[in-house]
Structure formats: C-alpha cells, structure tokens
Amino acid sequence: MTIDKNTETEFSEDFLLGGRVLVRQPTEGYRVAIDPIFLAASIEIEPNDTILDVGAGVGAASLCLATRALNVKVTGVELQRDYVRYAAENIKLNKLRERVEILHGDLLRPPPRLAAGTFSHVMTNPPYLDATRNNISYNETKAMANLEGEADLDQWAKFSLLMVKPKGTVTFIHRADRLDQILSYFSGKLGNIIIYPLWPGRNKPAKRVLIRGVKNANGALRLAPGMILHSDDGRYTPEADAVLRQAKSIVM
C-alpha cells in the first residue's frame, strides 16, 4: 500500500494481463475486477480503429485493449476526477500516452472534444445497479461506480449509440438479469446483436453477459455459447485464463 500525497488516500499497484498492464487504484471504493478485461478482449479490432471507453474508471479496459491491439487509439471518458487522475498516471506508467487518453466528463454533458458518430467502437462497463432498487454503498466513489446516478442505463445506451459510427460496434458488459432492458434500448438501432454469456461454472446460471451490436445493421440476434470461467476446483478455465493472463481475444 502507498499513500497518494495529493488526496492522502491509500492506493495499490496491481498487474493485469499476466503483468503486461500496471494499474494504480485506490484501496477503498471501486476496484478493478475481471469485467473490464473481458470487455476489452471482446472488441474486434482493425488497424487504425478508434475506440471510446465510456465510464473508463482508472483506465483498465482502455489499457488492456491498447496493450492487446497495437494500432488503435483509445479515448475514455470518466465522471470521477480522482479516477481520471489515476488513469492519467496509469497511461504514463504503461507508456501508452500516444494511444490512450482519458477525459473528465459526464455522458449527459460530454467533453466538447468528443464528436458524435466518430468512433469505430464504443465499449462500456456501466454501473450495474439501479439506485432506486439497491442499497447505496457507504463509500461514495464505489457507489458512483456501481449505482446508476443521473444517467441511467437508458442514457448510457443512447450516448453509446450517438458516439459510434454507422456500421461501428457498441459493446456492453452487464448483469445477465438486465439483459432485457439493454436489448430494448438497442432494438431498431443495432443489428447483428450477439449475446455472449459468461458462465461462472458448469451448470451455474450466467451472472454477466457481453452484448455487442452493429449500428445501422439489420442482421438477426445470435446467442453465443459463451465461456465458462471456473473449473469445478474453482480455478479459472484455460479459456478464461488465456483472456485474463495471456491477453487473448474473445471471439464472439
């Protein structure tokens, strides 16, 4: 543990992708889990693509994607200033300043530099919980990361659709029990939608899903087999381990 001299708060240094990515993050509040890593791994990249990471936090998904795909530019937008500052440090630590940038901003009042319809892909790991239906965390920053605020899930979907180019992709990672909401927001706006469940173990219901669609496309929805994350002994399966530690991509 180390003390941040600017905020007098403790932070840790943690490694992602088998040590390829170093992330500084506060020890209290929202902490990077596996979801942003899986989100970044699911983006199908072409050279010179541009990606917008909505709700970028300390930059985990952006950094993982830029580490895996060398010829892309990633821009993130994050509401909490402390996280933006950590993200800037993490970009510098990982020597990715030429290809990753995290901007401070609210998706309801986005930074002027974000132009609508200009990104090849939009990826996001929105707050999972509806604040009207869940208890609020004692930690304010964790609550802001986990609970919908002024911008609800519908607003996250609208902003993502606004920012992506025609024929570009929008990818969410979210709770499986809110899949019906997300699909209702995308109906008539995205096509070729793929639902990719992340099964915690064999014969266990999925708690997380990846959802990807193509703007202004007309293809049918497809339910993919998904991935089992844990073996019966509790360890990550080889497929999950390849994503988390070997920087492998997910083929949806």
Supply the CATH number for residue 105's domain. 3.40.50.150
Categorise residue 113: left if φ over 0, alpha if ψ from -120 to 50, beta otherwise. alpha
Is residue 176 within 8 Å of residue 195, measured between CB atoms? Answer: no
pLDDT digit string (tens) for the chain, length 252 residues: 565 555 557 889 999 999 999 999 998 888 899 999 999 999 999 999 999 999 999 999 999 999 999 999 999 999 999 999 999 999 999 999 999 999 999 999 999 999 999 999 999 999 976 555 545 445 444 445 444 457 899 999 999 999 999 999 999 999 999 999 999 999 999 999 999 999 999 999 999 999 999 999 999 999 999 999 999 999 999 999 999 999 999 999
Q: Provide the token pair at 1.
A: 């543990």
Please provide residue 186's backbone torsions phi and psi, each rounded to the nearest 5 degrees: -90, -10
pTM of the model: 0.89
On whether residue 7 sits in a domain, the answer given is: no
> 171: Cβ–Cβ under 8 A, 6 or more apart, which residues?
39, 42, 43, 121, 122, 123, 124, 210, 211, 212
Among 222, 67, 39, 231, which residue's Cα sits nearest to residue 128? 39
Boundaries of domain holding 177: 34-246
On whether residue 251 sits in a domain, the answer given is: no
On whether residue 87 sits in a domain, the answer given is: yes
In the chain, how many domains are there? 1
On whether residue 148 sits in a domain, the answer given is: yes
Residue 59 to residues 55, 96, 166, 226, Cα–Cα distance (Å):
9, 11, 26, 25
On whether residue 10 sits in a domain, the answer given is: no
pLDDT at 41: 98
Among 53, 52, 56, 112, which residue's Cα sits nearest to residue 79? 56
Rounded (10°) angle between helices 179-186 and 153-163: 40
pLDDT at 128: 78
Radius of gyration of the chain (CA): 17
Percentages (nearest 5) of helix, strand, coil residues in the chain: 30, 30, 40
On whether residue 198 sits in a domain, the answer given is: yes
> 225: Cβ–Cβ under 8 A, 6 or more apart, which residues?
none
On whether residue 226 sits in a domain, the answer given is: yes
Strand partners, 172: 124, 211
On whether residue 204 sits in a domain, the answer given is: yes
Residue found under tokens 């909505």: 54
